[in-house]
Amino acid sequence: MKIDDIVAFAFKNISKKRTQSMLTIIGIVIGVLAMVSLISLGYGVQNYIKEEMMKIGSNKITILPMKQFGVPPSHYFTKKDVKAIENVKGVDAVMYGWYGGCEIEYNGEKKFVSYYYAKPSQLKKVYKGSGYEIDEGRWLSDNDKYACVIGYGTAHDLFNREIKIGDVIKIKDKKFRVVGILKPVGNQQDDNSVLLNIDIGEKLFGNEGKYNFITVTVKEGEDINEVANEIKKALKKSFGSDDFSVLTAEQLAETVGSVLGVITIFVVGVAGISLLVGAVGISNTMHMSILERRKDIGILKALGAKTTDILAIFVVESGFLGLFGGMIGLILGIVLAKFVESLAHKFGYLMVNAWISWELIVGVLIFSFLVGVVSGYFPARSGAKLNPIETLRGE
């Protein structure tokens, strides 16, 4: 039998039994739906973070007082370390300060936010063009004391009453006047923030002379990786150990990316299991369907069909069942991912993005076709071996 005839014959069988075919492919639909939406969102978030990191600056180096993320640092940077870094060739501006979490009070309500403090002029210089831009009011100046700049979320979302320029918020029972509000950056941690001048921040939080981050901009035309290496050397001397990390935007993106990659593999694994269940479903229904069509197999054999013709008809049929399941699952998966994306954007999580590409679409379709073929193979093989006389006898 020719391949186009086999395909046409298989199609005919599927379309004649639409309801049964639909039931057969539900498992595949769900598996593919889960897989597509998870992959799409997983990669979308990853890509967004990478892009954002690149935006923050390909000329920036971040230095943290610990070897790994998530591990609390055992000691902090001091003025001496800052000096050492400032003396490294190729370093332009050096910003140092502290970030952490604290409670702020406004209009009788208390909310938790993240806070940053650094020297305002440095902050401005280092973060220029990185998405940290003033939406309303003004930036902090080096002379400001009890003044602060707050994130978009802190101003508009956090409290029952929105905070306006000139309003007063309380941090550690001290009053601060809001002089500026930042534009939204897209993640909650950064949007629900408050920025202070280092002079007052140090005293307020009791970390005088200690810094838990240093950010450096590199002079134009300098090789960022080389500068990063020089900083490492200089810091090792002044810091007295190598319990710190020197990260370029690229490295940062990779680190975050690999963490997300692990999560992605996990969710894809879960989706894979549901797909496997779908495959067992197809296999089972193919088996039933072949039992139902024992007679047709006998007729085909009596008409001179080879065993391989019959095998091919059923395998192609289940392959197409898989493919149809994959197509429906793909469409639903994309719709779901897009829905989650728009929902997340509505709530300000700009990092949640649906990533859809031709590779994903084609890959999923080929994959679901193969799942169909594999799950149809064994029942088809036993069907193709049926004895025509047995199947045609009786009635």
Partner 1 sequence: MIKVKNVWKIYGKGEAKTIALKNINLEIEKGEFVMIMGPSGCGKSTLLNILGLLDVPTKGAVYYKGRKTSSMSENERAVFRRKIGGFVFQQFHLIKTLTALENVELPMMLDEKDKTYRRRKAKKLLKMVGLEKRINHYPHQLSGGQQQRVAIARALANDPKIIFADEPTGNLDSKSGEVVMNILKELNEKGITIIMVTHEQELTRYASKIVKLKDGEIVEIVEK
Q: Please report, as ranges, the residues that interact with partner 1 according to CB under 8 A.
A: 1-2, 5, 9, 12-13, 16-17, 295-296, 298-307, 309, 388-389, 392, 395
Q: Which C-beta is closer to partner 1: that of 286 or that of 354?
A: 286
Cβ 265 to partner 1 shortest distance, Å: 44
Cβ 393 to partner 1 shortest distance, Å: 8
User: Can you tell me whether residue 387 is helix, strand or coil?
Assistant: coil
Cβ 18 to partner 1 shortest distance, Å: 12
Cβ 2 to partner 1 shortest distance, Å: 5
User: Can you tell me whether residue 98 is helix, strand or coil?
Assistant: strand
Q: Distance (Å, rounded) from C-alpha 35 to C-alpha 20?
A: 24
Q: Which C-beta is closer to partner 1: that of 2 or that of 346?
A: 2
Cβ 309 to partner 1 shortest distance, Å: 6
Q: Which of 231, 210, 180 is nearest to 97 (CA)?
A: 210
Q: Distance (Å, rounded) from C-alpha 321 to C-alpha 274?
A: 17
Q: Render 140-190 in DSSP notation, one character per residue.
A: --TT-SSEEEE-HHHHHTSSSS---TT-EEEETTEEEEEEEEEPP-SSHHH
Rg (CA), the chain: 31
Q: Which of 366, 277, 380 is nearest to 323 (CA)?
A: 366
Contact 104, 113 (CB under 8 A): yes
Cβ 303 to partner 1 shortest distance, Å: 5
Cβ 371 to partner 1 shortest distance, Å: 25
Q: Which C-beta is closer to partner 1: that of 1 or that of 335?
A: 1
Q: Which C-beta is closer to partner 1: that of 220 or that of 395?
A: 395
Q: Which C-beta is closer to partner 1: that of 70 or that of 394?
A: 394
Q: Distance (Å, rounded) from C-alpha 165 to C-alpha 163?
A: 7
Q: Which C-beta is closer to partner 1: that of 8 or that of 71?
A: 8
- Joined together, the tokens standing for residue 167 give 């309003």
Contact 211, 244 (CB under 8 A): no
Q: Which C-beta is closer to partner 1: that of 366 or that of 389?
A: 389
Quick one: DSSP state of residue 160? Answer: S
- Joined together, the tokens standing for residue 293 give 């069509």
Contact 176, 129 (CB under 8 A): no
Q: Distance (Å, rounded) from C-alpha 340 to C-alpha 55?
A: 24
